[in-house]
């Protein structure tokens, strides 16, 4: 089953992704588990009409009052990570 919105085809589905998180005054995660690549953050799930548009997943969960009004979730396919370091760059 598919649906088309603004020329993009959506399919019914569910999207799962790992979210980053931070805590205060807590034990560090197990480094051996991190090295294996096991998820450490919360796993977020969103169900609805799913489409991949460029470098993003778009999940439409509910249609709103207007013709282009939706409840949606936008998730980067590969989140961009920027690392900044203190001190001189070599």
pLDDT digits (tens, 9 = 90+) for 32-57: 888 888 777 778 889 999 999 999 99
Domain assignment present for residue 53? The answer is yes
- The mean pLDDT value for 52-72 works out to 88
> pLDDT of 7-27, one tens digit each?
899 999 998 888 777 778 888
Phi and psi torsions of 33, nearest 5°:
-70, -40
Domain assignment present for residue 43? The answer is yes
Residue-level pLDDT at 54: 93
Q: What is the tally of structural domains in the chain?
A: 1
Closest among 15, 10, 9 to 74, alpha carbons compared? 15
Boundaries of domain holding 59: 2-76
Domain assignment present for residue 60? The answer is yes
Domain assignment present for residue 48? The answer is yes
Neighbouring C-beta atoms of residue 46, cutoff 10 Å: 17
Residue 88 pLDDT class (50, 70, 90 cuts): low
Q: Give me 81's structure tokens.
A: 């990570």
Domain assignment present for residue 89? The answer is no
Domain assignment present for residue 84? The answer is no
């Amino acid at each position: 089953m598919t649906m088309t919105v603004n020329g993009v085809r959506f399919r019914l589905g569910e999207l799962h992704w790992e979210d980053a998180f931070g805590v205060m005054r807590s034990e560090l995660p197990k480094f051996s588990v991190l090295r294996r690549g096991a998820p450490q953050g919360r796993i977020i799930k969103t169900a609805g009409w799913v489409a991949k548009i460029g470098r993003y997943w778009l999940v439409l969960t509910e249609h709103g009052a207007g013709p282009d009004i939706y409840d949606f979730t936008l998730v980067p396919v590969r989140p961009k990570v920027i690392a900044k370091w203190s001190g001189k760059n070599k």
